[in-house]
Chains A and B, each alone.
Chain A
Amino acid sequence: MRLLRVEAGSRRLRMLRAVALAAAGLLALGLPFNSNPVVNGELTLVLIYAVAALGLNLLVGYCGQISLGHGAFFAVGAYTAAVLIAKAHLPYLLSVPAAGLVTFALGFAFGVPALRLRGLYLALVTLALSVATPPLVKHFEGLTGGVQGLPVPQPTVPGWLPLDLDQYLYLLVLAVAAVMFLLAANLTRGGLGRALVAIRDDERAATTMGVDRARVKTLVFASSAAYAGVAGALFALALGFVAPESFTPVLSFVFLAAIVIGGLGTVAGALLGALFIEFVPQYASSVNQALTGVLYGATLIAVMYLLPGGAAGLLGQLRRRLVEVVETPPPGGRPTGETVMEAGTVSSSQGGGLPAV
């Protein structure tokens, strides 16, 4: 039985949402004070991966375009921040937006021709991008430090804050991640978000309905690249070091795995996926070197067959079990269930389809 039944748009629902959000926020803020520096470092990485995965999810989950090149944008962001801090002595807080701008521009330039490509071809071109990144980084040794990598001076904790470095880094990354998540949530709920889903589900119909396909796709590609770039810059800050081995094509693949497992086309999925890619390989590799790959491969295939909504979809189902949101009955009409209103659940659960007529 359901625990709760609330009306859509009621004050009670808004209260519930606010309480849930506040609880999540408090939990996120409190985490670094209850664990050791190693765990804090891992949690920081989770947040960083979540930002990158979120950007990729905008492109893949909402827009249906496949990118195997987000590791490359992540790398560009990381090296932009690293070079700006280490060589140009830019304050580290400025390096993050700078990395975002650079990758946005790069994504825009790349997106203009790339949006002509559909499906598989975009996957191939972006794959080429991520394969080309490590050799290029190694080649331009003067700027990037080549194979040896480039040390990045880490931020120092401001004197008025009673924090250790690992806690400060975590909170810094959390702040940036919160902003990026809010931006994404706004973006996907607004008109642009609906335009994206329209393009994903039927490009031709979307165009007919007046969606400017070229503009929307290019913007999304660029924003998505900027998310990866910001995440890359945070990565450089958090690790204090960048080297080409961190940015192999495997990274692009791991980001894609994160959003598929976490849940395509959901904001929460990025965070869940980031938890998977940070913690599962750690435990798996302590058992067997090959287990990580087996788990990744098997999970990916299994999710595509059994759980197209990913972990976020599963959580959503659980939430609906517990809390039922009903539409306010229109005068004289019958109340309708929530599922009718949620286009996302309808389209993601299709596949079984209607019986043939």
Chain B
Amino acid sequence: MGRFLQVVVDGVADGSIYGALALALVLIFRSTGIVNFAQGEMAMFSTFVAWGLHDGGRPLWLALLGAFAVSFLGGMAIERVVIRPVEGGRPLTVVIVTLGLFVLVNAAAGWIWGFTNRGFPRSFPSGTVGLGGVALSIESLGIIAVLLAVVGLLWLLFQRTKVGLAMRAAAQNPVSSRLVGIGVGRLLMLGWGLAALLGAIAGVLVAPRLFLDVNLMGGVLIYAFAGAALRGFDSPLGAVVGSWIIGVTENLAGTYVSAIGADLKVLVPLAIIFVVLLVRPSGLFGIPEVART
């Protein structure tokens, strides 16, 4: 039973990392209808920035803050320069541009930092705490706490501030928002900045668990897609819960189903994407999309 609980908590922690990236995907999808394939690579780039700052002698907390700031500004710049010209275009055009961005960011990171992998410092102390006779890792608990804090802050932003209200309005009806004087373009930039920041958080949380290299986020992106797809891409809370489900299922299946084991673990979220999108394209718990013409 203790082992089971450990696996579940580790699963929720993994799921929280996917959840941070899934939140970034959902944030952009809700405001622009774009699934940003480059989200993971942008997060990987941010993580490298943090690594570079730390490697250059800055303390970890300062390096992380610096990377978050760079990510936020970088996300806004990418929206303004790369995405704005194709916003509202055909899905094919948008997908290809974000895929181009994916490759470009990946190659840029390789160019700057090389293609070898390296360790990344942990943000949380290693070790475990005993909780009701079960030893849980401090890192896992810390990651879950970070995600809950992020969700709380996002909720405050969107529900309790004027900027958040304007962002929701701009996402729901850009034309009307423009008419009442909301700077839709600037809010979209803000959204991309926030998404890049969320990605950076996911990156620095996952990097110590894997090795930092240019392919750091490939797997995480797939899991985040699966998590977000569970609720049809448009619910932030759904994306978090979906990612937890993915994380726990993946860990349980990897631990207890011997036929799956480590090498086929990646198939679990893929199977979930498959089944969910093929059986219920609007998400397992999603609401069917109603198009107005």
Q: Is B86 engaged at the interface, CB distance under 8 Å to the other chain?
A: yes
CB-CB contacts below 8 Å: A36-72 with B: 60, 64, 66
- Interface readout for A286-313 with B: 1 if CB under 8 Å, 0 if not? 0011111110111111001100100000
Q: Within the assembled complex, what's the spacing in Å between the Cα atoms of A204 and B291? A: 12
B222, A128: Cβ atoms closer than 8 Å: yes
Q: How large is the interface on B (under 10, 10 to 19, 20 to 34, 35 or more residues)?
A: 35 or more
B266, A131: Cβ atoms closer than 8 Å: yes
Q: Is B97 engaged at the interface, CB distance under 8 Å to the other chain?
A: yes
Which residues from A are CB-within-8-Å of B101?
Answer: 297, 301
B266, A123: Cβ atoms closer than 8 Å: no
Q: Within the assembled complex, what's the spacing in Å between the Cα atoms of A289 and B213? A: 14
Chain B residues touching A, majority SS:
helix
**A253 and B103 contact, Cβ closer than 8 Å, known pairs A132-B270, A139-B264:** yes
Please indicate which of the listed interface residues A114, A253, A256, A293 has the most CB atoms of chain B within 10 Å of its own CB: A293
A253, B107: Cβ atoms closer than 8 Å: no
- CB B94 to nearest CB in A, in angstroms, measures 8
**A123 and B95 contact, Cβ closer than 8 Å, known pairs A113-B278, A128-B270:** yes
B267, A290: Cβ atoms closer than 8 Å: no
**A291 and B96 contact, Cβ closer than 8 Å, known pairs A128-B273, A135-B264, A135-B267:** no
Q: Within the assembled complex, what's the spacing in Å between the Cα atoms of A213 and B99? A: 28
B104, A297: Cβ atoms closer than 8 Å: yes
Q: Is B74 engaged at the interface, CB distance under 8 Å to the other chain?
A: no
Q: Is A240 engaged at the interface, CB distance under 8 Å to the other chain?
A: no
Q: Is A326 engaged at the interface, CB distance under 8 Å to the other chain?
A: no
A297, B281: Cβ atoms closer than 8 Å: no
Q: Pick out which of these stretches binds chain A: B108-116, B179-187, B239-247.
A: B108-116
Please indicate which of the listed interface residues B82, B92, B106, B273 has the most CB atoms of chain A within 10 Å of its own CB: B92
**A135 and B263 contact, Cβ closer than 8 Å, known pairs A125-B277, A256-B96:** yes
Which residues from B are CB-within-8-Å of A300?
Answer: 96-97, 99-100, 103
A117, B281: Cβ atoms closer than 8 Å: yes
**A120 and B107 contact, Cβ closer than 8 Å, known pairs A132-B270, A305-B85:** no
B111, A125: Cβ atoms closer than 8 Å: no
- Interface readout for A104-143 with B: 1 if CB under 8 Å, 0 if not? 0000000001101111110111011001100110110000
B96, A260: Cβ atoms closer than 8 Å: yes
A124, B100: Cβ atoms closer than 8 Å: no
| Further contacts, 20 of them, CB under 8 A, given A117-B281, A305-B85, A305-B86 | A113-B279, A123-B35, A124-B277, A125-B273, A136-B264, A136-B267, A138-B263, A139-B263, A204-B293, A260-B96, A264-B92, A290-B107, A290-B108, A293-B103, A296-B103, A297-B101, A297-B102, A300-B97, A301-B97, A301-B104
Give the B-binding residues of A (Cβ under 8 A).
Answer: 60, 64, 66, 113-114, 116-121, 123-125, 127-128, 131-132, 135-136, 138-139, 204, 253, 256, 260, 264, 288-294, 296-301, 304-305, 308, 351
Q: List 22 A-B contacts (CB under 8 A).
A: A60-B92, A64-B92, A119-B91, A121-B277, A121-B281, A123-B95, A124-B277, A125-B273, A128-B274, A136-B267, A138-B263, A288-B111, A290-B115, A291-B107, A292-B107, A293-B108, A296-B100, A297-B101, A301-B100, A301-B101, A305-B85, A305-B86
Give the A-binding residues of B (Cβ under 8 A).
Answer: 35, 82, 85-86, 89-93, 95-97, 99-108, 110-111, 115, 222, 225, 229, 263-264, 266-267, 270, 273-274, 277-279, 281, 293
User: What are the nearest 3 A-B pairs in CB distance?
Assistant: A293-B107, A297-B104, A300-B100
